[in-house]
Amino acid sequence: MNIMKRMKQAIALVMLVTSLLVPTSLKAQENRLKIVTSFYPMYALTKQVVGDIHQVQMINSGNGIHGFEPSVADVAAIAEADIFIYHSSILESWVKKLKQTLKDKDVRMVEASEGLDMDKVAGLEEVEAIGGMSESSMYDPHTWLDPLEVANEIQLIADQLSEIDPDHASDYQANAQAFTQEAQALVEEYQPKFEALSNKTFVTQHTAFSYLAKRFGLNQLGISGVSSDIEPGSKQLLKVNQFVEDNGVQTIFVEPNVSPKAAELVANTTGAKIETLSPLESDPQNTKTFIENLRETIETLYQGLQS
């Protein structure tokens, strides 16, 4: 009887605790923001800001953002969100149409790069004439590869989240500040390393590293334009071959999940070696922080320039 009595008491206790926890759990879920982001850098930065306070969804978990168009399911997810965070109207040009589609929805649209000056990529005028590229396509959107530029982006994200969720504003601001300190430390660590290099010129598969190059006083030539989807013509390949030989370039950097065919043609002609350098447009593993991934990219570039 004592055993049965204790079991009944235990069951009653479990039921009581459950009844107390369920409303709290439901309330917590109700207070959670629905946050949707466009692709990996925006997801990683937003996740760094919110921590475990809210869940963050990424609509594009594929191999990159160039040429990406949101699906019907993606648009539906954004329509149900409290806030949608994307990088820029240059990179996600489809956002302009999306805003019209969702004009009656109460979704805050946040452009993380707002206020940043996008650099026009030199030498693309000929590519524009041939490929019919739009004016916006002539600008390099990859600001997230510069530690200090991306720190500005995470601060903007934190400010926007603080406005719609003031109860957690102090957490958002603290997390953004911690990120900024790491970013500044990264620049302070690598600035003297790059300054000491005798060769500061490198060639990449596409022109994704302009801001990173500018931050550390380097020179970049992209085999194709700002989009990895562009295939260079024979005239461009001849130009790259000459550039590699004239500047003593030893390494040509290619990207994960993108065909290295053009880079291999240049390497075979010039004798340069091939190395992989990620522009951090995606992170299939999603096991490291954004700063950790950015450090790996910077270190890979540094090692390639040393050889």
pLDDT < 70 regions, the chain = 1-30, 61-64, 122-137, 225-230, 284-285
Instruction: Output the pLDDT for position 122.
Output: 60
Task: Share the mean pLDDT of the chain.
Answer: 85
Instruction: Read off the tokens for 27.
Output: 């309330």
- Rounded Cα distance, 163 and 277, in Å: 37
- Rounded Cα distance, 30 and 110, in Å: 22
Instruction: Output the pLDDT for position 166.
Output: 98
Q: Which long-range contacts does 254-261 make (Cβ < 8 Å, 24+ apart)?
A: 254/204, 254/205, 255/204, 255/205, 255/206, 255/208, 255/228, 255/279, 256/63, 257/63, 257/64, 257/282, 258/63, 258/64, 258/205, 258/206, 258/228, 260/205
Work out the number of other CB atoms within 10 angstroms of the CB of residue 238.
13
> Could you tell me the pTM of the whole model?
0.84
Instruction: Output the pLDDT for position 21.
Output: 54
pLDDT digits (tens, 9 = 90+) for 206-260: 888 999 999 999 999 988 765 656 677 888 899 899 999 999 999 999 998 788 8
**Alpha-carbon dihedral 261, 266, 270, 276, rounded to 10 degrees:** -60
Q: What DSSP designation does 118 have?
A: P
Instruction: Output the pLDDT for position 302.
Output: 97
Instruction: Output the pLDDT for position 113.
Output: 97
Q: Which residues pair with 34 in a beta bridge?
A: 55
Residues 6+ apart with CB under 8 A from 307: 250, 251, 273
The CATH code of the domain at 189-306 is 3.40.50.1980
Is the alpha carbon torsion for 109, 228, 143, 295 positive or negative?
A: positive
For the chain, the domains span 189-306
CB of 79 closer than 8 Å to CB of 107 = yes
Instruction: Output the pLDDT for position 224.
Output: 77
Burial (CB count within 10 angstroms: exposed 0-12, middle 13-18, buried 19+), residue 117: exposed
Instruction: Output the pLDDT for position 249.
Output: 94
Instruction: Read off the tokens for 258.
Output: 């993108």
CB of 77 closer than 8 Å to CB of 57 = yes
- Rounded Cα distance, 257 and 255, in Å: 6
Instruction: Output the pLDDT for position 284.
Output: 66
